[in-house]
C-alpha cells in the first residue's frame, strides 16, 4: 500500500510526458504556437489527458508490494537509529536579559592600582619603587643592599699569586698539582714543607720558614749575627755620614764620605746608599711608607696611633682607619674595617667563623 502512496506522490509532483497523439487525441498540428486552435480540439485534448492519467493510476493500483517489504512504521523506527550523536536542544523558555549581552567594544575592567609614590627616604641609590632610581653612586663607590653609596671594594693582590682578593674574587688560580698557601703563593701540593726547629731558610718546597733581621745571617735554619748585622743586604744604609754596604751578605763595607769631601746619601743609579756630592740628596723611600727618607725628610706619615716599623705602618685597633674602609679587609681570619673613622678588628676564627666577602652586603664579614 505504501508503494502506491509513494507512486501517487511522485506522479503528483512529477510531470507526465504524453505523446502528441495522446495530448491532442489525434495528429499533432503543424504549428504548436498557432493561436486560432478550435475549442473542440482543446476539449478532445483534455479528455485524452484524463484517460492517460486514469490508465497510469489503474496500473499502479494493480501492483502489489512484496510480502517481505518493510512496513512504514519499521522504517520510522530504523530511521531514528542513524548512529548520529545526540544533540541536546537548549531550553529557551526563559527570556534573555538584555543586560547580560555584551555590547560592541566592551573590554574587561582593569583594577585601578592608584598612583605610585616614590620611596627614597634615607636612600642614596637604587630602585625608588616606581621604576626609577634614587640616585647614582659616584665613581669609586657602589650601591649597597641598604641603598647607600659605600666605597667600592678594591682587590688586594699585591705580591699574591692566588687566594681571595678581598672583594669576592680571586687573585689567581694555581695550576695542576699546586695549591694556594696562606701567603697567597702557589706551592706544590705533593710537597710537605718542613720548618720544624727552623726560624728562617728554605722550607723544602720553594717556600721560606722566615726571614732574619736586616744584616743577620740564616745558618741551619737559625738567625745569627753576622758582619752586616743591621745593614740591609740590598740597599745598605747611612750611619754617621758613612755609607755602610754589605757585599754578598757576608762582607761589610764602610765608606768614609767626609774624608772624600762627600756626604752619605741615596744614589739612584746604584739603588743603594753611597757617598754622593754635598748638597745633593735623593730621597730613598723605595718600598717604604714611613720613616726617614735619607735626606732629612720622611717617606710618609702613618695614620693616628699607627707606629712605624722598618718603613711600614702597623695597623692598630682604635687608631685611625688609614687605608681600611667600611668594606673591610680579611687578614687570614682577622677582619679589619673602618667604622666612624675608627679602625675596628674582629677575630673570626675565635668565633668559629671564617673571614670572607659577602656578595649580598658587598662587605667582608665573619661568615659561618
* DSSP of 34-95: -TT--HHHHHHHHHHHHHHHHHHHHHHHTPPPPTTPPPHHHHHHHHH---PPP-PPP---SP
N- to C-terminal Cα separation, the chain: 104
How long, in residues, is the chain? 368
Q: What is the pLDDT of residue 35?
A: 41
Instruction: Determine, yes or no, domain membership for 237.
Output: yes
Q: How many folded domains does the chain comprise?
A: 3
Contact criterion met (CB below 8 Å) for 201 and 212: no
Instruction: Determine, yes or no, domain membership for 103.
Output: no
Q: What is the pLDDT of residue 60?
A: 44
Contact criterion met (CB below 8 Å) for 284 and 311: no
DSSP 3-state of 336: strand
Note whether 296 and 306 are same-domain residues: no
* Residue 155 backbone phi and psi in degrees, to 5: -55, 140
DSSP 3-state of 191: coil
CA distances from 131 to 119, 122, 134, 247, 293 (A): 11, 18, 10, 70, 56
Note whether 144 and 287 are same-domain residues: no
Instruction: Considering only the C-alpha atoms of the chain, give the largest distance between any 2 of them, rounded to a whole number of Å.
Output: 177
| 273 CB-contact burial (10 Å; exposed 0-12 / middle 13-18 / buried 19+) | buried
Instruction: Determine, yes or no, domain membership for 348.
Output: yes
Is 0.75 topped by the overall pTM? no
Strand ranges in the chain using DSSP code E only, listed in sequence order:
141-143, 149-151, 178-180, 186-188, 217-219, 222-224, 237-239, 242-247, 251-256, 262-267, 272-277, 308-309, 312-313, 329-331, 334-339, 342-347, 354-358, 363-367
Instruction: Determine, yes or no, domain membership for 320.
Output: yes
Cell numbers 499533432 label which residue? 28
Instruction: Determine, yes or no, domain membership for 286.
Output: yes
Q: What is the pLDDT of residue 345?
A: 94
Note whether 343 and 308 are same-domain residues: yes
Q: How far apart are CA 236 and CA 217, in angstroms?
A: 15
Q: What is the pLDDT of residue 308?
A: 93
Name the nearest CA neighbour of 334 among 354, 316, 320: 354
Cell numbers 538584555 label which residue? 98
Instruction: Determine, yes or no, domain membership for 87.
Output: no
Note whether 275 and 306 are same-domain residues: no
Note whether 291 and 238 are same-domain residues: yes
Note whether 233 and 285 are same-domain residues: yes
Instruction: Determine, yes or no, domain membership for 5.
Output: no
Note whether 150 and 295 are same-domain residues: no
Cell numbers 695597623 label which residue? 315
Name the nearest CA neighbour of 352 among 331, 333, 336: 333
- Provide the grid cell at 243: 755609607
CA distances from 221 to 197, 214, 230, 347 (A): 7, 16, 19, 31
Q: What is the pLDDT of residue 266?
A: 85
- The residues, ordered by sequence, that sit 6+ positions from 32 with a Cβ below 8 Å of its Cβ are none
Taking 70 as the pLDDT cut, the residues of the chain under it are: 1-112
Q: How far apart are CA 162 and CA 179, in angstroms?
A: 9
Decide which of 240, 271, 300 is a domain's last residue: 300
Give me the domain span that covers residue 343.
Answer: 140-172+302-368
Q: How far apart are CA 55 and CA 58, in angstroms?
A: 5
Note whether 293 and 243 are same-domain residues: yes
Q: What is the pLDDT of residue 306?
A: 94
Instruction: Determine, yes or no, domain membership for 362.
Output: yes
Note whether 166 and 307 are same-domain residues: yes
Amino acid at each position: 500500500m505504501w508503494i502506491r502512496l509513494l507512486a501517487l506522490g511522485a506522479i503528483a509532483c512529477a510531470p507526465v510526458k504524453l505523446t502528441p497523439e495522446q495530448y491532442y487525441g489525434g495528429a499533432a498540428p503543424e504549428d504548436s504556437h498557432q493561436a486560432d486552435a478550435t475549442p473542440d480540439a482543446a476539449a478532445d485534448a483534455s479528455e485524452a489527458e484524463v484517460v492517460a492519467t486514469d490508465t497510469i493510476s489503474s496500473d499502479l493500483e494493480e501492483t502489489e508490494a512484496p510480502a517481505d517489504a518493510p512496513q512504514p512504521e519499521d522504517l520510522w523506527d530504523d530511521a531514528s537509529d542513524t548512529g548520529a550523536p545526540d544533540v541536546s536542544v537548549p531550553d529557551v523558555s526563559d527570556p534573555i536579559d538584555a543586560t547580560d549581552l555584551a555590547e560592541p567594544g566592551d573590554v574587561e575592567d582593569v583594577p585601578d592600582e592608584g598612583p605610585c609614590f616614590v620611596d627614597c627616604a634615607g636612600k642614596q641609590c637604587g630602585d625608588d619603587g616606581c621604576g626609577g632610581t634614587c640616585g647614582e653612586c659616584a665613581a669609586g663607590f657602589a650601591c649597597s643592599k641598604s641603598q647607600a653609596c659605600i666605597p667600592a671594594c678594591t682587590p688586594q693582590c699585591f705580591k699574591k699569586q692566588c687566594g681571595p682578593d678581598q672583594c669576592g674574587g680571586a687573585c689567581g688560580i694555581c695550576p695542576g698539582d699546586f695549591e694556594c698557601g696562606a701567603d697567597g703563593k702557589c706551592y706544590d701540593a705533593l710537597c710537605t714543607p718542613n720548618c720544624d726547629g727552623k726560624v728562617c731558610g728554605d722550607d723544602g718546597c720553594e717556600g721560606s720558614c722566615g726571614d732574619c733581621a736586616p744584616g743577620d745571617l740564616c745558618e741551619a735554619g737559625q738567625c745569627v749575627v753576622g758582619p752586616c748585622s743591621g745593614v740591609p743586604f740590598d740597599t745598605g744604609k747611612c750611619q754617621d755620614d758613612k755609607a755602610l754596604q754589605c757585599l754578598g751578605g757576608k762582607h761589610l763595607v764602610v765608606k768614609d764620605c767626609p774624608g772624600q769631601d762627600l756626604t752619605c746619601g741615596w744614589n739612584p743609579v746604584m739603588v743603594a746608599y753611597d757617598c754622593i756630592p754635598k748638597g745633593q740628596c735623593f730621597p730613598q723611600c723605595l718600598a717604604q711608607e714611613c720613616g726617614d727618607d735619607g735626606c732629612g725628610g720622611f717617606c710618609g706619615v702613618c695614620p693616628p696611633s699607627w707606629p712605624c716599623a722598618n718603613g711600614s705602618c702597623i695597623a692598630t685597633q682604635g687608631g685611625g682607619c688609614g687605608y681600611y674602609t667600611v668594606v673591610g679587609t680579611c687578614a687570614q681570619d682577622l677582619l679589619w674595617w673602618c667604622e666612624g673613622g675608627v679602625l675596628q678588628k674582629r677575630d673570626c676564627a675565635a668565633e668559629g667563623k671564617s673571614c670572607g666577602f659577602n656578595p649580598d652586603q658587598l662587605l667582608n664579614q665573619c661568615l659561618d
